[in-house]
Structure 1
Amino acid sequence: MAEDKRIILTAEPDHSGDIEITPAVLEVVLGIAAQQVDGVYAMRGSLANNISSLLGKDSHGHGVKITTQDDGQLLADVYVYLRYGVSVPKVALAMQKSLQEQLLFMTDLQLAQVNVHVEGLVPEKESKPDPDALFKDQDDPDTDEDDAGEAAHD
């Protein structure tokens, strides 16, 4: 959950007003960027996010927490599930780089830290065998030879 403290973007000296962004918006930006990194299976979500997702309201910010330090630096904690078989350090480094670049591009804000928390690895789902096909009669060359052998014995 994001802090309620709004982040004010720096503007040109001749600006006509302030630009404020809530940390929740930054979490959504980082959540979408994290999901696009190769090797990421899913983001960690809370029960409320899972229920919202079932109702058709997808929350891209779940799995990301933004904190603002007293000196104004932004820290991001990202909680992810990775695909089994990927190099965890490579995916984590790619995620750190991607999230920093995306936030800088979209908001001109810099992240002091991106802490990647790997919550688990998810193996690929294997297709289940069709039970009807397991015992289905097939034209198998081995069965033809057996039939021929039985005919020879008669």
Structure 2
Amino acid sequence: MAEEANETLQTDMGTVEIAPEVIQIIGGLAAVQVDGVAGTSGGVVDDINQILRRKNPKHGIKVELGEELEIAVSIAVHFGYHLPDVAVEVQRQVKEAIESMTGLVVGKVLVRVVEVKIAGEMEGSPKTDHHQRVK
């Protein structure tokens, strides 16, 4: 799934263009608001951003503008949540957010669970060495 040209809407006053990056940000922010989602995951770039403590809500979100708008979302889920339920809610929230904010019709939202986060791996949590002892 590749990003393509901007989505264009014609009005009486002219043209309105919505860049794919805007749709990515809306989708990413909607996805991380779902209970159980630890974050979106975009691969190596995300890993570097996590090390540097920078967040970018468009990573892990791919947009294909064609006859119908397709969104692909890669997410990390907190351990203990039912993955299919979280994924379905992500689909619903992403579709609703993009449609309500842009007026575009979302044809598909593909969700890929790429990681399960456990409590010790949460962003911002200090890494603990299991071999250390309290003195």
Normalised to the residue count of structure 1, the TM-score between the two structures is 0.72
Greater fraction helix: 1
Deviations 1:47-68 (A, max 9, x none): 3344456557532100000112
Instruction: Name the CA distance, whole Å, in 2 between partners of 1:117 and 1:87.
Output: 14
Instruction: Name the CA distance, whole Å, in 2 between partners of 1:50 and 1:35.
Output: 17
Instruction: Name the CA distance, whole Å, in 1 between partners of 2:15 and 2:54.
Output: 30
Is 1:6 the counterpart of 2:6? The answer is: yes
Deviations 1:92-131 (A, max 9, x none): 1111110111011100112100000000211122996861
Partner of 2:64: 67
> Structure 2 regions of 5+ residues with no counterpart?
none
Return closer, same or farther for 1:49/1:88 CA change in 2, 3 Å cut-off.
closer
Instruction: Give runs of ≥4 in structure 1 deviating > 4 Å.
Output: 52-57, 126-130
Contact 1:53-1:59 at 8 Å conserved across structures: no
Normalised to the residue count of structure 2, the TM-score between the two structures is 0.81
Over aligned residue pairs, what C-alpha RMSD do you find? 2.5
Deviations 1:17-71 (A, max 9, x none): 10001111100110111011100012112433444565575321000001123xx
How big is the shift at 1:8?
A: 0.8
| Match of residue 134, structure 2, among 131, 134, 140 | 131
Q: What code does the residue aligned with 1:81 have?
A: A
> Structure 1 regions of 5+ residues with no counterpart?
133-154
Q: What code does the residue aligned with 2:7 have?
A: I
| Structure with the larger RCO, 1 or 2 (CA within 8 Å, 6+ apart) | 2
Q: What code does the residue aligned with 1:17 have?
A: G
Give the number of aligned pairs. 127
Contact 2:4-2:65 at 8 Å conserved across structures: no
Contact 1:79-1:117 at 8 Å conserved across structures: yes
Partner of 1:43: 40
Structure showing greater Rg: 1
Greater fraction strand: 2
